[in-house]
Amino acid sequence: MADKRALVVEGGAMRGIFASGVLDEFLDVGFCPFDFAIGVSAGASNLVGYLAKQPKRSYRVVTELATNTTFFNPARFVKGGNLIDVDWLWKTALERYPLDTDTLFTNIPLLAAVTNVETASADYYWVNESNLSNVIEATSALPIAYRQTPCFSGGCYTDGGVADSIPVIEAYRRGARDITVILSQPESYEMTPMRLPSLMDHILKKHPSIANAMRQRADRYNASLAFIRQPPTDCKVRVIAPPETFPVGRFTMKKSKLDQGYDMGRQAAQTYLFKTFKSTMLNSLDWNGAAT
């Protein structure tokens, strides 16, 4: 792929409600001028709903299922279980809000990032009908919080955000020269180094490569931000990010705050669309890139 347009969506657990709002606004106006999309963790889940052209699906998954104690349960975690049950969330979402897979798999290609447990590097899978459930579980399998280790296609994986939280460099490597990035943190954000690396070594002693990757995560994350802020001269990067007042944290469960975060996403998308396409062009362009 050369000179392609890519959409990159960061994860961030419940902070992904912002991307849900952005992508629903895109759906409302039929905006999808991209050649491929890359998602990580909640970002990949959001992209599934977007590419299946099912508005509000991701919003409902977050506000109705991810807030359920079957998914997020600190008491269960203290007793040795999962803090978050990714498998339950995915399967229950499929039951309550069935995916339009025909639309999903005839839309632009979707790439998802996962972290290889053995190498601690990012692996990238093109999502298809045979690997959809495995890939979405793996890309969202937060270390420690989700004690299971998803394995498929000869490898075992954990959350893609460990190795590549914002796969904008991967999008460039695959030929994208016009990249839209939806972040889950304000543009001013920079990740700080881990405060207690020795504790992480102890907790992840069965997976030392992942513990090491967690120590390096801030450097990798900030390298992606540096690329976004100063991309190569042959590449344009467009950013949609939450405002500084964004009220949603990684494990925010209060619906009023989630609704506020979703609305901020929709508002940010509106601003993005207005800035990207001048008002004189709004009525003369088809959102898929063709002149009317």
- What is the DSSP annotation of 126-139? E--TTTHHHHHHHH
Average pLDDT, the chain: 92
Q: How confident is the model at residue 278 (pLDDT cuts 50, 70, 90)?
A: low
- Summarize pLDDT for 217-257 with one digit per residue, the tens: 999 999 999 999 999 999 999 999 999 999 999 999 999 99
Half-sphere exposure of 49 toward its Cβ, with a 13 Å CA cutoff? 30
Nearest to 143 by CA among 132, 157, 129, 154: 157
Nearest to 24 by CA among 55, 48, 52: 55
* Per-position b or e across 182-204, b if 16+ CB within 10 A of its CB: bbbbeeebeeeeeeeeeebeeeb
Token pair belonging to 285: 């362009």
Residue ranges of domains in the chain, CATH in brackets: 4-288 (3.40.1090.10)
- Catalytic residue positions, numbered: 41, 159
- What is the DSSP annotation of 2-62? -SEEEEEE---GGGGHHHHHHHHHHHHTT----SEEEEETHHHHHHHHHHTT-TTHHHHII
For residue 202, is pLDDT > 80?
no
Amino acid letter, 198: S
| Residue whose tokens read 């700080």 | 192
Token pair belonging to 27: 């759906």
Q: Look at strands 176-182 and 236-240 and give their pairing.
A: parallel
- Summarize pLDDT for 38-71 with one digit per residue, the tens: 999 999 999 999 999 999 999 999 999 999 999 9
Q: How confident is the model at residue 193 (pLDDT cuts 50, 70, 90)?
A: confident
- What is the DSSP annotation of 141-182? --TTTS----EETTEEEEEGGGT-SSTHHHHHHTTEEEEEEE
